[in-house]
């Protein structure tokens, strides 16, 4: 629907699905690409914001959108692997890695 409404591309993350792997999708007018990442235990806060910011940073450094998504997702996965917990809340991505 987003592409039909005029968007050139869209990213849909699979973080809320009840699956063993997280599957993220990149839809564009020229096709579709999917990435799979092993689901990490726990509940995270800020993973989507971290992904968007990392992707924007890669684009600012001259990466193509697909390259930016490759690098940003790998970065976010590392951040989530090293996440920390403040009190009893959700895990926070460690963005210092």
Instruction: Using pLDDT thresholds of 50, 70 and 90, give the confidence band for residue 97.
Output: low
Tell me how far apart the terminal alpha carbons of the chain are, to the nearest angstrom. 36
> Could you read off the pLDDT of 35-91 as tens digits, one per residue?
999 999 999 999 999 999 999 999 999 999 999 999 999 999 999 999 999 899 999
How many residues in total does the chain contain? 97
Confidence (pLDDT) at 49: 95
Q: Where are the domains of the chain?
A: 9-92
The first and second tokens of residue 35, run together, are 């990435």
Structure tokens at 62: 């001259």
Instruction: Name the most confidently modeled range: 1-10, 15-24, 48-57.
Output: 48-57
Is residue 48 within 8 A of residue 13, CB to CB? The reply is yes
Query: Does pTM surpass 0.85?
Result: yes
User: In angstroms, rounded to a whole number, what is the distance separating the alpha carbons of residues 91 and 41?
Assistant: 10
The span from the CA of 66 to the CA of 30, in Å, is: 12
Q: Is the pLDDT assigned to residue 12 strictly greater than 90?
A: yes
């Amino acid at each position: 629907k987003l592409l039909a409404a005029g968007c050139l591309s869209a990213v849909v993350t699979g973080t809320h699905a009840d699956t063993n792997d997280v599957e993220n999708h990149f839809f564009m007018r020229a096709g579709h690409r999917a990435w799979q990442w092993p689901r990490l235990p726990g509940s995270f806060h800020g993973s989507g914001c971290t992904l968007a910011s990392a992707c924007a940073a890669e684009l600012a450094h001259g990466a193509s959108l697909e390259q930016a998504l490759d690098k940003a997702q790998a970065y976010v996965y590392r951040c989530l692997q090293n996440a920390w917990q403040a009190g009893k809340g959700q895990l926070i991505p460690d963005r210092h890695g």
